[in-house]
Chain A
Amino acid sequence: MLRIDRRLIAHFDWALLAAVLLVIACGLLTVLSATHGPTRLVSPLFVRQAMWAGIGLVGLLAAISFDYHWLERYGYFVYAGALVLLALTAVAGTSGGGARRWIALGPVSLQTSEFVKLGLVVALARALHRHVGERRLTWRNLAVPILLTLPPAALILKQPDLGTAIVVLAAAGAVLLVAGLPLRWVVLAASLVAPFLPMAWHHLKPYQQRRVLTFIDPQADPLGSGYHIIQSKIAIGSGMFGGKGFLNGTQNRLNFLPEQHTDFIFAVFAEEWGFVGACVVVALYTALLLRCFLVATRARDPFGLLLAFGVTAVIFTQVLVNVGMATGSLPVVGITLPFFSYGGSSLLTSMFAVGLLLNISMRRFTF
């Protein structure tokens, strides 16, 4: 199935792959630290995550094994498949932490909203690539992308998973803007929507409302909803310049940090490795970002460009929002740090996405 083409290997973006693998290695190390107990270093969670990294590698290889133009043809089917899974989750999913986000598949449970992110990006690229050009998008061009975006966003919001919904909307918005959505329309839309924001506020769950309020003033309820932000900031800050050392983060080890191996994993890392370590990780993500954008700009055709950009937008919205949230710069919304956080679906999706980028990159000269 996998045809090795010498030309493909010649154009393979080894730097991108290396950057990703390094970030994943850092992530695994941090998951190890975040889940180790007083008596045992290697937790079952770490083993699981390592397994998922292996599966992710297979996913990555799978994502480069075919010509990405195949996605141009079958993009809507991919999207439909992901959406069906998401809808199934809404009906038959398993709950965790008050939200129905997972669907059980034998021994593993999948977070289907992760897959739908990619599905949507593929579908958007499929819908838009023929209409891009020197001219701006028209209303007619916009109808399909918006119709594609709303169902998954609504389903995810319903779970409820505000974080992923924001990522989906932000990535879709970014793709639309790159595809030629006039900025003034966005401004217009925003000014139309703004009066209805108070109504939307009432539709937020109380815990989501609290999170936004807490972001504005974390000290208002330091043991309640402000707890996450305060403890995460303390963890990161207390790492100081050089960090407390691997496995020595007290905020992490003593469970002052909430959700330390998922949403707040960056705080665990920054506590143990300090500003130096945080800079290394940010540098790795920056390298990754540069390579991703390079893939997008070098893409051979608009479809490749939009797909590469969409995938990149999905990954980096998450990076910025997650680290912003851990450092107390953004409200707490539960999203994972790509390649870093514990979570199989997230890791698999992110690695598959990187596979797609590598795919686009190495086929930039092929016909």
Chain B
Amino acid sequence: MIELTQREVVPLVLRRRVAVALALSLVGLLMLLGRLWYLQVLHGEDMRLLSESNRIRLHRVQATRGTVLDRAGRVLIDSRPSFDAVLVPEDTRHVEETIENLAHLLGQSSADMHSLLTQATSRPAFEEITVRRDLSWDELVALETHQLDLPGVSLQITPRRKYPLGTMLAHLLGYVGEASPQELAADPRYRMGDLVGKTGLEKRWEKNLRGINGGQQVEVDAVGRKLRVLREVEETPGDTIKLTIDLDLQYAAAHALGDRNGAVVALDPTTGAILAFVNNPSFDPNVFARGVRPDEWRALSTDKHHPLTDRATQGQYPPGSTFKIVVATAAIEEGVVNPFTRIYCPGGLQFGNHYFRCWKKGGHGAMNLHDALVNSCDVYFYQVAQRLGIDTIAAYARRFGLGLPTGIDLEHEKAGTIPDTAWKRARMKQPWYAGETLSNAIGQGYVTATPLQLANMIAAAAVGTRYRPHFVKQVETPEGEVIYTEQPEALGALGVRPTTAKQVRDALRDVVNAPQGTGKKARLKNVEVAGKTGTSQVVKLGQKRLKAAQVAWAHRDHAWFVAYAPFDAPRIAVAAIVEHADGGGGAIAAPLVREVLEAYFHLDPDGKTDAYAQNRSSPDRTF
């Protein structure tokens, strides 16, 4: 151990340098402490907030829209659960890869997916982007099994609207669609992708149907997987709406109209409750609920038969001879004729330099008002109209609700036209010509009305009071509390003497029940029906009336029939129009209405109701 002495010497300067190093290290540790103070105490609140927003996401749970039922509780609109694929780009550090995989699994080009992403640039961070709605079962399985290749992608259950009736009732029920930017701006409760009622009942009763969306505070991990629900606000489904529609009658009416263009409206004359509401052609709201494709939209909107038009409330047709109900009522009430006043019909009337034809070429001979209505004699009404004048006729027409909207809770209802002198002056800057009174008195010329208006007219004739047509019977909250019940709303009595009303009704009964009545094809065995036919010309065809078969389809007459039953205690009023029919109202529309009434009164002359029963069991069937 010779090195011993050397070993003992530790130069002092060495120890000093170590001390300096120690001091420097202590300074370093002190700086770390300062940094920790800065992060944890001074900025602790902010950092805590950041860590919370890291892990907690708010998920909206879309409320299931309310169910819509018919008056007997049968489902008209329903919701079904569906799965959407959603992507949160912040949850993956390899968005490209995820999109690539997703596009591959869903059989879509990744360019499409990218465009989805670029569209959603203004969305808040961590908000989900829906990349595919309503996944099919196969797609669902594919995404589930490849979850590990798809960081940032998750599945979301969304209730989706289902219209099991298809085209049936489509115009009345309407449809839902994704909220538009305007709708989003108008109501803060809507978020991108929410479903909003766009038309019909779905739109008008949106507030009841939409329910209250729920929310979940969900804890997620770094790749966005939902781990647990921290807090939850249950969603409240929408209210259940029960309609006044009778699905059996609806099917019967649709069956009666068949594939012919036209509309059938049946309502309860004592309340205005709509029992059946048929339009043909129609459209399938399911197409809209899932998002209509441009080509589908083009096909629907350019179809020459206008399937998107709600004929019942927007189709304005000349009412034809059904308008004689108005003129007859006015004539009796105003005293221009009495029940015994006879007018001779030679088959036409020369007025000025124009010869106005009666529909019956040979003429009806001399008849009183009753027979003139039963036979629908045009000449009689030409004469009566001259005595009344157009302004009086128009006033009575308005008492029947013509020329103004019925007030049904549907958008874009049309008012039809009831012309008078003031109207013509305002509209055409021309005086009213006396000859025009003649053609308008038989529901031609300027007069137009919607099928719903005519249903309301015949209902008013039946009970003497006009009600606001409506189709919502009852609204019930999910808890079963009834928050709305239909209240029949009288819009005004006809205000005619009972004897006047009786005379008109008696005549309407004989239209159907008298041997020479023009509406005898609407006759029922054991229920007394009253009604009026109408055949409205689409174009002036000159002097000669031609058979339907001789005329181009678009130039053929419309066939009308309006009716109510039972005669002595009316419970149902029906208006039906067949566009461009193969014959007049008596031949074409009257039997159609009879079919509807048979269904309503559960008459089964030739087993037709069995067919309705079959339809009911397969509601997807369209007519």
Which A residues are within 8 Å of any B CB, using their own CB? Answer: 38, 132-134, 174, 177-180, 223-224, 227, 231, 233-241, 250-251, 254-256, 270-271, 274-275, 278-279, 282, 285-286, 289-290, 293, 296-297, 299-303, 305, 309, 313, 316, 320, 323-324, 327-329, 367
A279 contacts B36, CB within 8 Å?
yes
Nearest-neighbour CB distance to chain A for B12, whole angstroms, equals 8
B481 sits at the interface (CB 8 A): no
In the bound assembly, the distance between CA atoms of A271 and B93 in angstroms comes to: 24
In the bound assembly, the distance between CA atoms of A44 and B355 in angstroms comes to: 107
B220 contacts A289, CB within 8 Å?
no
Given that A227-B93, A234-B50 are contacting pairs, would A254 and B21 also be in contact in the complex, using a CB cutoff of 8 Å? no
Q: Which residue, B10, B11, B220, has most C-beta atoms of chain A within 10 A?
A: B10
B123 sits at the interface (CB 8 A): no
Query: At the interface with chain A, which of B221-229, B242-250, B335-343, B379-387?
Result: B221-229
B29 contacts A289, CB within 8 Å?
yes
Nearest-neighbour CB distance to chain B for A261, whole angstroms, equals 15
B36 contacts A300, CB within 8 Å?
no
A302 contacts B14, CB within 8 Å?
yes
Query: A224 touches which one: B9, B11, B35, B93 (CB < 8 A)?
Result: B93
In the bound assembly, the distance between CA atoms of A234 and B51 in angstroms comes to: 6
Further 11 A-B residue pairs, CB within 8 A, beyond A293-B22, A324-B35: A178-B14, A227-B93, A235-B51, A236-B39, A237-B43, A237-B46, A278-B40, A309-B21, A316-B25, A320-B29, A367-B1
Nearest-neighbour CB distance to chain B for A86, whole angstroms, equals 27
B19 contacts A297, CB within 8 Å?
yes
In chain B, positions 1-21 with a C-beta closer than 8 Å to chain A are: 1, 4, 7-11, 13-15, 17-19, 21
B47 contacts A297, CB within 8 Å?
no
Query: B54 touches which one: A256, A270, A279 (CB < 8 A)?
Result: A256
Point out the residues of chain B lying under 8 angstroms from A286, CB to CB: 26, 29
A327 contacts B222, CB within 8 Å?
no
User: Contact flags (1/0) for B45-64 with A, using CB distance below 8 Å?
Assistant: 11110111011000000000
Nearest-neighbour CB distance to chain B for A237, whole angstroms, equals 3
In chain B, positions 24-41 with a C-beta closer than 8 Å to chain A are: 25-26, 28-29, 31-33, 35-37, 39-41
Interface SS of chain B: helix, strand, loop or mixed? helix
Chosen A-B contacts, 12 in total, with CB atoms closer than 8 Å, are A133-B11, A179-B14, A227-B93, A271-B51, A279-B33, A282-B32, A297-B19, A299-B10, A303-B7, A323-B32, A327-B36, A329-B32
Q: Which residue, A177, A237, A256, has most C-beta atoms of chain B within 10 A?
A: A237
B40 contacts A270, CB within 8 Å?
yes
In the bound assembly, the distance between CA atoms of A152 and B591 in angstroms comes to: 105
Given that A234-B50, A235-B51, A236-B40 are contacting pairs, would A255 and B221 also be in contact in the complex, using a CB cutoff of 8 Å? yes
Point out the residues of chain A lying under 8 angstroms from B54, CB to CB: 231, 234, 250-251, 254, 256
* CB nearest to A316 among chain B residues: B25
B90 sits at the interface (CB 8 A): yes
Point out the residues of chain A lying under 8 angstroms from B39, CB to CB: 233, 236-237, 327-328
B219 sits at the interface (CB 8 A): yes
Nearest-neighbour CB distance to chain B for A87, whole angstroms, equals 31
Closest 8 CB pairs of A and B: A237-B47, A240-B44, A238-B51, A275-B40, A254-B221, A255-B222, A237-B39, A293-B22
In the bound assembly, the distance between CA atoms of A14 and B18 in angstroms comes to: 22
Point out the residues of chain A lying under 8 angstroms from B7, CB to CB: 300-301, 303
* CB nearest to B33 among chain A residues: A282
In the bound assembly, the distance between CA atoms of A196 and B520 in angstroms comes to: 110
Nearest-neighbour CB distance to chain A for B186, whole angstroms, equals 35
* CB nearest to A238 among chain B residues: B51
Nearest-neighbour CB distance to chain B for A74, whole angstroms, equals 16
In the bound assembly, the distance between CA atoms of A239 and B48 in angstroms comes to: 7
Point out the residues of chain A lying under 8 angstroms from B93, CB to CB: 223-224, 227
Nearest-neighbour CB distance to chain B for A174, whole angstroms, equals 6
Query: B36 touches which one: A234, A278, A289, A303 (CB < 8 A)?
Result: A278
Point out the residues of chain B lying under 8 angstroms from A133, CB to CB: 11, 13
Nearest-neighbour CB distance to chain B for A364, whole angstroms, equals 10
In the bound assembly, the distance between CA atoms of A239 and B51 in angstroms comes to: 10
In the bound assembly, the distance between CA atoms of A293 and B21 in angstroms comes to: 9
In the bound assembly, the distance between CA atoms of A320 and B30 in angstroms comes to: 10
Point out the residues of chain A lying under 8 angstroms from B28, CB to CB: 316, 320
Point out the residues of chain B lying under 8 angstroms from A271, CB to CB: 51
In the bound assembly, the distance between CA atoms of A271 and B39 in angstroms comes to: 11
Nearest-neighbour CB distance to chain B for A225, whole angstroms, equals 10
Given that A177-B17, A237-B44, A293-B22 are contacting pairs, would A250 and B36 also be in contact in the complex, using a CB cutoff of 8 Å? no
Point out the residues of chain B lying under 8 angstroms from A177, CB to CB: 17, 21
